[in-house]
Amino acid sequence: MTSNRKVGNVDVFVDAHGFVNAIQLTGRPLYLTSDPAILKKQFRGETLDPAPPVSSLYSHVSTDAIIKANPDCYYYDDRLGTLVLRSLGGGGMVEPGDIRKGGFGMILAGEGWGEGSSREVAALALLYAGIGIVFAPSIAPIHRQNLINNGMFPVSSLPLAERIAAGARVDVDEPTGGFDDLSRRIVRYGGFFRFMEARSQGREKDHPIDTSPRPMTIAEKILARHMNTRHGAVKPGDAGFIQVDAGFSHDYTTAPADAMIRAALGRAPKVKNPASIHSFPDHLTLAGNLPGITAEALAGIKDLREGQKRMAEETGIQYHVTPAGGSTGICHTVVREEIALPGQVILGTDSHTCSAGALNCLAYGIGNTEIASVWEHNEVAGRVPGTIRIRLTGELAASCTAKDVILRLAHQGKTSGIFTGKVMEFAGPGLAGFSFEEQAVLSNMAVECNALTAIMEPTEPMIQYLVERRGLARKQVESMLVYADPDSAVDETIDLSLETVQTLVAAPGHPGNGLPLDRVRGTRIDLAYAGSCTAGDLTSIAMYADVLKGRKVRIPTFIQYGSERVRDEALRTGIHQTLLAAGVQMIEEPGCGACINAGPGGPQKGQVAISATNRNMPGRMGEGDAYLANPFVVAASAVKGFICGPEDL
């Protein structure tokens, strides 16, 4: 006996035990082409015959394009379904309501679907618009998991997608054939909350991972210590539950995760270990001051932040708020400064959680459903990822920084997909030549390579950071360090000589659009922004000051601190005063700010910015265009009013 339920405009067939056994598209397939005219034909109700080839489908659609960070992400209800994809291509390709009114149940897109932010509202927005199935040749791992957790169906096989689009009823084993066992079980239950409910009732049993002892990478060793194993070993593809040392959320995600628990379980959240759970009001701390912000957006911000505060007060989690209601720093920065330690598992509702990987721990972004699991159980479902080892040798040129290294790797990731869903394990003698905060730039932007995360092998700069900045004893630090076994297997090793790295600037549209500085030198810019979790640390702040000392900026230039600690150190050492004297508009309240178009410094329509942040997808920083570059280039360009390096001053 079977019954069925709806996931968007998709029929999901359920057997007598409540398990999903088949799916069938009842809505229309939407071919997300890069041709606006073909999109409009579909919105008018026309059927495309023949269907467009995959090569014509829109590729590298980020979560910022699926649902705008500002102001659409201020909502976490049915309104998201009207707003989905309205910023695709910078806006105008999809009007609000087009997808919902069109009766679509499936989206077919190109490579790199769901890259960028880990925000789960990107999955929910699709679902509320009626989309239950997403096809793309490759789907970013965090977004893919968010789809699965919400009972949706990611598909990467074109022949299967074509059959589904034609209306065939398909067995659920077909779209889940390449999934790990745990993800298949979540799909069979119809989503993560249903699965966790069954597990809490004893209907789902955990089985120890049976992998035999083997040489392991850093990430594998950490996971072997945090997962239920029979022999103390794991291998890529093993799945189970991961014990979490610390979890965090921010003002975009805390209240929505709270609401999801209340809706699914009919009660308020319970937090198993409040001392290990953190919340940061960092993303929206300055958003209310943006020019032209609407009353509706202000109400959304107020709702999110009040819900976050209430949840923290009710559960006793660690709430990193100033007396004035602002944040003590960007979540990734504070986690690095105060919380994460080598060998730990750190999970947060932000894709740049990977920043903490600089501390030789396993840190990656998760969605709201998964942070709810961390709150309630101090664990989350997970799969052991593969590893790409990046061996660094030699030294960078004086004009280059870690930003140039990661922009080079982001280009490689975009063009080849080599890092998708993997751990980037940085190693080699060249790594020790980077300061700790420069190593954090490498780990922070691993997600821009479409990797799950990055992790650093231990180096002296990292050890010194923990001793001098965190106050730990050296022996204590050394006892925590995790090293890869010499003969551990990886998917691929990349040998990168740092002497071959040149100064790069990522052209608007994607961090993987890296170009040699000479190719864009002289490009006019309207403003400069420096800060964010990538470039708001003291090392980066000092780089800006090195270039700007004794000079004046020619264009509006904004620098925002990553944390109170960074700001206070800049004030103490005089760096802050140097930047003010150069005409920089210093944003003393730390936060994400213009990096997500939630503070001053982002390019508005018709403007072009140069930025030291991590992302420049359309709409990410504002309606204008943004080039990404290292701190030296950003500061020099601010002096000249066009893209250049310090050698041009």
Q: pLDDT of 626-646, one tens digit each?
A: 999 999 999 999 999 999 999
**CB count in 10 Å sphere of residue 287:** 26
Give the SS3 label for residue 541.
Answer: helix
CB of 357 closer than 8 Å to CB of 222: no
CB of 121 closer than 8 Å to CB of 256: yes
Domains of the chain: 3-200 (3.20.19.10), 244-382 (3.30.499.10), 386-500 (3.40.1060.10), 505-648 (3.30.499.10)
* Local structure of residue 647 (DSSP, 8 states): G
Question: What is residue 1's predicted lDDT score, i.e. its pLDDT?
Answer: 46
Identify which of 135, 240, 150, 242 has the alpha carbon closest to the alpha carbon of residue 187.
150
CB of 635 closer than 8 Å to CB of 648: no
CB of 105 closer than 8 Å to CB of 132: yes
Cis omega (within 30 of 0) on the bond before 71? Answer: yes
Identify which of 455, 457, 389 has the alpha carbon closest to the alpha carbon of residue 418.
389
Question: What is residue 295's predicted lDDT score, i.e. its pLDDT?
Answer: 85
Question: What is residue 274's predicted lDDT score, i.e. its pLDDT?
Answer: 97
Question: How far does CA 188 lie from the centroid of its chain?
Answer: 27
Question: What is residue 3's predicted lDDT score, i.e. its pLDDT?
Answer: 65
- Distance, in Å, from the CA atom of 363 to the CA atom of 444, rounded to the nearest integer, reads 10
Q: Per residue in 391-445, pLDDT tens?
A: 999 999 999 999 999 999 999 999 999 999 999 999 999 999 999 999 999 999 9
| φ and ψ at residue 181, rounded to 5 degrees | -60, -40
What is the chain's length? 649
Question: What is residue 182's predicted lDDT score, i.e. its pLDDT?
Answer: 86
Question: What is residue 206's predicted lDDT score, i.e. its pLDDT?
Answer: 84
- Distance, in Å, from the CA atom of 54 to the CA atom of 33, rounded to the nearest integer, reads 9
| φ and ψ at residue 135, rounded to 5 degrees | -105, 135
Measured at the alpha carbon of residue 128, what is the angle toward residues 126 and 132, in degrees to the nearest 5? 55
Give the SS3 label for residue 447.
Answer: helix
Q: Per residue in 12-70, pLDDT tens?
A: 999 988 899 999 999 999 999 999 999 999 999 999 999 999 999 999 999 989 998 77
The mean predicted confidence, pLDDT, of the chain is 94
Beta bridge pairs of residue 627: 610
Mark the ranges of the chain whose per-residue pLDDT is less than 50: 1
Beta bridge pairs of residue 28: 104
Tokens of 644: 């250049």
Identify which of 15, 255, 19, 349 has the alpha carbon closest to the alpha carbon of residue 151.
19
Question: What is residue 412's predicted lDDT score, i.e. its pLDDT?
Answer: 97
| Amino acid at position 128, single letter | Y
